[in-house]
């Protein structure tokens, strides 16, 4: 295996820290790096290495909302307001026992069970089909038993998330967030976004983000291009702990042989020292 794309430390840096020059333990070390990265990010409730994020936010009619990850580098779009972009239907709806469509934010899912009991599921990735025009074309030409129609070509990732929407009794209408916020300010370090004067009008209360269930889509780049030294060191130490402890009896608190005495720090104490170093990075929501 290889170290994950967004790992907090490199294999070479971890090997230098531990003092390993060979390659026989590389797979174990890589696993330790990925595990330590996940442990740290779960504890801090954020992602650290720079990447693109796709979020549906729930600002609850406030003037300020905060994205989940920081520091923010750039914002590609902030979108809201619903408009139909396409429809999907089953060509065998009259005999299907189940036919549903869904969107998990990364792909459009077409799922059906035919009258004979055959189950088929097709996932159309938004990476592969970035526009609803491309989705409609693929459904009509490349997915057996389904049909689609385009109302308005849109960016696929702005389609509102939904799951298991039945299309036996009716055509599945798919909507997306179509209107871009044009006047806003952003604190790149904290990830706070403040709306200025925008066209929400009387529908949303003028100059406030709309209320509702996650009505605002935001696509942005956030994270560190270079991991801060203290955070990287904590990841190295934790990965080294995971590597070394795999062969140790974690129930052993100490041992003695003649005049020699040895005691180990408890796991709880060790973790407490690690968590203390992460307090400045821990997200408070």
Percent of the chain with pLDDT over 90: 73
pLDDT at res. 78 = 94
pLDDT at res. 258 = 56
In the beta sheet, which residues pair with residue 23? none
pLDDT at res. 204 = 47
Position of tokens 């990476």? 127
Q: Which two tokens stand for residue 274?
A: 């690690």
CA distance 163 to 166: 9
Q: Which two tokens stand for residue 56?
A: 């549906």
pLDDT at res. 271 = 64
pLDDT tens across 108-150, in order?
999 999 999 999 999 999 999 999 999 999 999 999 999 999 9
For residue 112, whether the previous peptide bond is cis, meaning omega lies within 30 degrees of 0, is: no
| 10-residue mean pLDDT series, the chain (285 residues) | 91 96 95 95 94 95 92 95 96 96 98 95 98 98 97 97 95 94 89 77 63 93 96 94 75 53 54 80 79
pLDDT at res. 253 = 52
DSSP 8-state secondary structure symbol assigned to residue 32: H
pLDDT at res. 202 = 43
- Helix, strand, coil percentages (3-state) for the chain, rounded to 5, are 25, 35, 40
**Non-local CB neighbours of 129 within 8 Å, separated by 6+ positions:** 108, 135, 138, 156
For residue 261, report the phi and psi dihedrals to the nearest 5 degrees.
-130, 140
pLDDT tens across 210-249, in order?
888 999 999 999 999 999 999 999 999 999 988 988 766 5
**Non-local CB neighbours of 151 within 8 Å, separated by 6+ positions:** 84, 85, 86, 87
Count the alpha carbons within 13 Å of 184 in the hemisphere toward its beta carbon.
26
First to last CA, the chain: 35
The helix or strand, by DSSP H or E, that contains position 244, with its residue range, turns out to be: helix 229-245
pTM for the model stands at: 0.83
């Amino acid at each position: 295996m290889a170290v994950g794309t967004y790992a907090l430390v490199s294999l070479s840096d971890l090997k230098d820290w531990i003092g390993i020059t060979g390659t026989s333990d590389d797979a174990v070390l890589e696993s330790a790096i990925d595990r330590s990265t996940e442990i740290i990010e779960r504890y801090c409730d954020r992602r650290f290495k720079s990447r693109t994020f796709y979020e549906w936010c729930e600002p609850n009619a406030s003037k300020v909302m905060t994205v989940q990850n920081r520091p923010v580098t750039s914002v590609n779009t902030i979108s809201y307001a619903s408009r139909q972009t396409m429809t999907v239907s089953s060509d065998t709806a009259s005999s299907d026992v189940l036919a549903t469509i869904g969107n998990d934010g990364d792909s459009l899912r077409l799922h059906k069970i035919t009258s004979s009991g055959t189950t088929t599921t097709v996932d159309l990735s938004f990476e592969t089909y970035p526009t609803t025009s491309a989705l409609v074309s693929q459904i009509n030409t490349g997915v057996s038993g389904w049909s689609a129609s385009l109302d308005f070509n849109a960016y696929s990732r702005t389609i509102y998330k939904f799951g298991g929407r039945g299309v036996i009794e009716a055509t599945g209408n798919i909507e997306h967030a179509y209107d871009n916020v044009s006047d806003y300010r952003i604190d790149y370090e904290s990830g706070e976004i403040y709306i200025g004067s925008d066209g929400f009008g009387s529908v949303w209360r003028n100059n406030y983000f709309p209320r509702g269930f996650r009505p605002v889509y935001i696509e942005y780049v956030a994270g560190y291009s270079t991991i801060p030294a203290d955070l990287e060191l904590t990841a190295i130490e934790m990965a080294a702990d995971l590597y070394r402890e795999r062969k140790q009896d974690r129930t052993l608190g100490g041992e003695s042989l003649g005049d020699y005495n040895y005691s180990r720090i408890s796991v709880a104490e060790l973790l407490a020292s690690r968590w203390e170093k992460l307090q400045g990075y821990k997200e408070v929501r």
